Structure 1
Amino acid sequence: MRTSPGYRIFRIVAIAVLIVVMLMPIFWMVLSSLKNNVQIFDVANAFNFDPSLENYRNVLARSDYVDYIWNSFFVAFMSTAISLVIGVPAAYSMSRFVMRRSALVVLMARIIPGVSLLVPWYYIFSNLRLVGGYSVLILSHMFVALPLIVYIMMGFFDGLPIDLEEAAQVDGLTPIGAFLKVTLPLSVPGLATAAILSFIFSWNNFMFALVLSDAGTKTLPVAIFDFIGYASIDWGGLMAASTVVTLPIMLIALFAQRYVVSGLTAGAVKG
Structure 2
Amino acid sequence: MTQTSSPAGAATPVYRRRNNGIFHYVVLIVLSLICLAPIWIMISTSFKPDVAVQSSTPMWFFFVPTLDNYVNIFGRGNFDRYLGNSLIIALSSTLLTLLAGGLCAYALARAQFRGRSFLANGTLLIRMVPPAVLAIPVFAIVTGFAIDADFVVLILLYTALNLPFAIWLLFGFYQQIPVELEEAAIVDGASPLQVFFQVLMPLMKSGYAVAAIFTFRIAWNEFILALLLTGRQSRTLPVATSTFITDTGVEWGRIMAMGTLIAIPPLLFTFFAARQIIAGMTAGAVKG
TM-score tier, shorter chain, comes to: over 0.9
Code of the residue aligned with 1:221 in structure 2: it is: P
Q: 1:79 aligns with which of 84, 93, 105?
A: 93
Structure 1 vs Structure 2 CA RMSD: 2.0
- Describe the shift of the 1:240–1:44 C-alpha distance in structure 2 as closer, same or farther (beyond 3 A): closer
**Does residue 221 of structure 1 match 2:246?**
no
Q: How many residues align?
A: 270
Deviation of 1:44 after TM superposition, in Å, equals 5.9
Other structure's SS at 1:4 match = helix
**Does residue 168 of structure 1 match 2:185?**
yes
Code of the residue aligned with 2:79 in structure 1: it is: Y
Q: 2:80 aligns with which of 43, 66, 84?
A: 66
Q: Which residue of 1 aligns with 2:248?
A: 231
| Contact persistence 2:172–2:285 (CA under 8 A) | yes
**Does residue 56 of structure 1 match 2:62?**
no
The 2-side partners of 1:107 and 1:44 are apart by: 43
Other structure's SS at 2:273 match = helix
Code of the residue aligned with 2:132 in structure 1: it is: V
Deviation of 1:107 after TM superposition, in Å, equals 2.2
Q: Which residue of 2 aligns with 1:182?
A: 199
Q: Which residue of 1 aligns with 2:152?
A: 135
Q: Which residue of 1 aligns with 2:271?
A: 254
Deviation of 1:101 after TM superposition, in Å, equals 5.4
TM-score normalised per structure 2:
0.87
Code of the residue aligned with 1:32 in structure 2: it is: T
- Describe the shift of the 1:269–1:221 C-alpha distance in structure 2 as closer, same or farther (beyond 3 A): closer
Q: 1:31 aligns with which of 44, 48, 62?
A: 44
Mapping for residues 90-129 of structure 1, pairs under 5 Å: 90-98=104-112, 99-100=116-117, 102-129=119-146
Deviation of 1:131 after TM superposition, in Å, equals 5.4
Larger radius of gyration: 2
| Contact persistence 2:97–2:166 (CA under 8 A) | yes
Moved more, 260-269 or 182-191: 260-269
Structure 1 outlier segments of 4+, above 4 Å: none
Q: Which residue of 1 aligns with 2:213?
A: 196
Deviation of 1:214 after TM superposition, in Å, equals 1.4
Q: Give structure 1 stretches of 5+ with no counterpart.
A: none
The 2-side partners of 1:199 and 1:269 are apart by: 22
Moved more, 158-167 or 126-135: 126-135
The 1-side partners of 2:146 and 2:286 are apart by: 47
- Describe the shift of the 1:86–1:38 C-alpha distance in structure 2 as closer, same or farther (beyond 3 A): same
Q: Give structure 2 stretches of 5+ with no counterpart.
A: 1-12
The 2-side partners of 1:128 and 1:269 are apart by: 40
| Contact persistence 1:158–1:267 (CA under 8 A) | no
